[in-house]
Amino acid sequence: MTAKKAKRTPEQGEQAMIEGILEGSPDGVGVAVIRLNCDCRKMAAVNIDGEPASKIIMYRDQAESICDQCKQDNGDYMRVTEQFIHWKKPEPGEAARKKIEAKVLGTSEERPN
C-alpha cells in the first residue's frame, strides 16, 4: 500500500470499532461509547431494552493494549470525559432512545411515571 490517505484520527478508529461491534451483535441497536481521560475507550452494544448486547470492549486507538491506568481501574467512571450512544441505522424512536440512554448512561433526567 503506497497511497497515503488523510491522517487517521482516533474518531475514525472509534467508528471502525463501533461498526465491528454492531456486526458482531445482531441484537444491538447501538453502541455505548465511553471516552476516558487517558484516550482509551470503553464500548458495548446495547439492545432495545437497554441491556448489554455484547461484552464490554476496552481499547486504545492504535495501541496494542489499553493503558496501565485502565488496567488498574478498568476505566473508572470518574475518568470518563464523554459518553454517548452511537445508534445503528435506522435509529430507534426518540422515546426508545431516551429510555435506553437513561438506562445505559445513567442520566438522571426525569422519568415518565
Interface with Zn ion includes 70 (CB under 5 A)? yes
List the grid coordinates of 108: 438522571
Interface with Zn ion includes 43 (CB under 5 A)? no
Interface with Zn ion includes 67 (CB under 5 A)? yes
Burial profile 38-64: b = 16 or more Cβ within 10 angstroms, e = fewer: bebbbbbbbbeebeebbeeebbbbeee
Nearest-approach distance from CB 86 to Zn ion, in angstroms: 20
Query: Closest CB to Zn ion among 41 and 86?
Result: 41
- Tell me, by CB under 5 A, how many residues bind Zn ion: 4
Phi/psi of residue 54, each to 5°? -155, 175
Nearest-approach distance from CB 61 to Zn ion, in angstroms: 11
